[in-house]
Amino acid sequence: MSSLQHVNPRVMGIRVWPQSRLHSVATHITQTITLGAQKPFKQVNDVSSGDPHKAGMKPISFVRQVLAVCLYPQLLKDNNLPLDVRLRAQRLLEVCDGGSVGSYTASSGIPHVRQSIADFITRRDAGVPSFAKDIFISAGSQGALMVIVKLLANGEGETPAGVLTPTPCPHTLPTLLDDSGVMVVPYQLMEDRGWAVDLDELHRALRTARGRCEPRAIYISNPGNPTGHVQDSKSIKEVIQFAAAERLLLLVDEVYQDIVYGPGKEFISFKKVLFEMGTKYWETVELISFNSLSTGCMGECGLRAGYMELVNVDPGVMHFVDTLLCTSISTPVTGQLALDLMVDPPKLGDASYDSYTQEILLKRTILSQNARRAQEFLNDLPGLSCQPAMGGIYLYPSLHLPSEIIEQAKMLGVEADVLYCQRLLEEEGVFVGAGCQFGETKGKHHLRLCILAPTDTTEEVLARLGSFHRRLSDSLPSSP
């Protein structure tokens, strides 16, 4: 018997999060189907997390072709591959030590890729300068965020550091902060205003945190994860002024910047607005922004690569960031090369330009159509209401559960939305995320639904969710 079998997670201070509980149920169901168990569904449809390839979306051909050549350089002589694919692979191999993806790289990333990222940011922000020395590549944006959170947690004094964190927020964020010993300071996003950031709510959250922790940073997700809200320049400016006045580090998650589809909406980076606010802010406000290969149109979760850009951060802190990244030796080289392809795609006139552009456009079209279709469907179900998503890959509908379900959940010791999701999974094979979050108003329940999936998958998920939801509603006694 393993010596670890008797370890109690609660004794160790480890929280068992709802997503982990539901994932275990989904895994068990999949295993029983594999062993021949009869279910009213053929497989589990997982739309709980942002893994578009797992949901059935296809990878971008150009990315996979270039990586294939980098992994097997003999393909450089294969005339069946587009010329720009082979030329790009050759150039990327030249920046790898030993001309091979099997070599280590600098802990902060391949210099060539860091420069490509800086050039991309400069183009994106209409000439606002970006420098390779301020770019740090890591194994996904979560890895980069973890480095920064560890630095925040290691400040002087016994009072724990705090991070103002939106409710709702990315489902992995509370775990990351909790594991690092950083206190979550929740601020509520305004659901009735499309999940907007509210300045008065930020001030309220900060006041309540005083004395319990030392607030050192504010985390913002734009476009919103999982809300789909897209901030305009006015909202971004207000957040920057708030951070400046309260001397807070701005942690800005911008991983969905390439998928904004709401009418009249566009992605505007915090850095661009910061620059436009003049030297009073541009030279003083500390800003760290994150992007990732796993999210957006790329969806290359398994390649594990992301980056962060540090603005106005002390050089000494930059040194510590580089040192902490050294503990992971280096980000997977294939992921770093794919980052280069993401920020510097084929150009007009290149052999792969047309196919690349068509594949990206198809993904954005599917996402936009799924978002509109799913929102309308969910709003037609009794007890469900859903704000429209303007960007990102999730819908976050509000779930109004009857008292019978809430009481049953209390008896079982789980959140009511977790119980709803578990029953949906067991009865219909649909795996959606439970929305329970730190700081959420008592009695509020939500679902998290990924919509970056093939249209037929989304339609099947909605049909099964609707069938379950109506069946659940019909089974409950009528209100007097």
The domain spans of the chain are 18-56+357-473, 93-343
Secondary structure, 3-state, the chain: CCCCCCCCCCCCCCCCCHHHHHHHHHHHHHHHHHCCCCCCCCCCEECCCCCCCCCCCCCCHHHHHHHHHHHCHHHHHCCCCCHHHHHHHHHHHHCCHHHCCCCCCCCCCCHHHHHHHHHHHHHHCCCCCCCHHHEEEECCHHHHHHHHHHHHHCCCCCCCEEEEEEECCCCCHHHHHHHCCCEEEEEECEHHHCCECCHHHHHHHHHHHECCEEEEEEEEECCCCCCCCCCCHHHHHHHHHHHHHHCCEEEEECCCCCCECCCCCCCCCHHHHHHHCCHHHHCCCCEEEEEECCCCCCCCHHHCCEEEEEECCCHHHHHHHHHHHHHHCCCCHHHHHHHHHHHCCCCCCCCCHHHHHHHHHHHHHHHHHHHHHHHHHHHCCCCEECCCCCECCEECCEECCCHHHHHHHHHHCCCHHHHHHHHHHHHHCEECEECCCCCCCCCCCEEEEECCCCHHHHHHHHHHHHHHHHHHHHHCCCCC
pLDDT one digit per residue (tens) for the chain, 480 residues: 333 333 343 433 444 456 778 889 999 999 999 988 888 889 999 998 888 888 889 999 999 999 999 999 999 999 999 999 999 999 999 999 999 999 999 888 999 999 999 999 999 999 999 999 999 999 888 888 888 888 888 766 678 999 999 999 998 898 889 888 899 999 999 999 999 999 999 999 999 998 899 999 999 999 999 999 999 999 999 999 999 999 999 999 999 999 999 999 999 999 999 999 999 999 999 999 999 999 888 999 999 999 999 999 988 888 778 777 766 667 899 999 999 999 999 999 999 999 999 999 999 999 999 999 999 999 999 999 999 999 999 999 999 988 888 898 899 888 899 999 999 999 999 999 988 665 566 678 999 999 999 999 999 999 999 999 999 887 655 443
Q: What's the pLDDT tens digit per position in 231-264?
A: 999 999 999 999 999 999 999 999 999 999 999 9
Measured in residues, the chain has a length of: 480
Which CATH superfamily, name and number, covers 18-56+357-473?
A: Aspartate Aminotransferase, domain 1 (3.90.1150.10)
d(Cα 155, Cα 428) in Å, to the nearest integer? 48
Per the confidence metrics, is the pTM higher than 0.85?
yes
CATH number of 93-343: 3.40.640.10
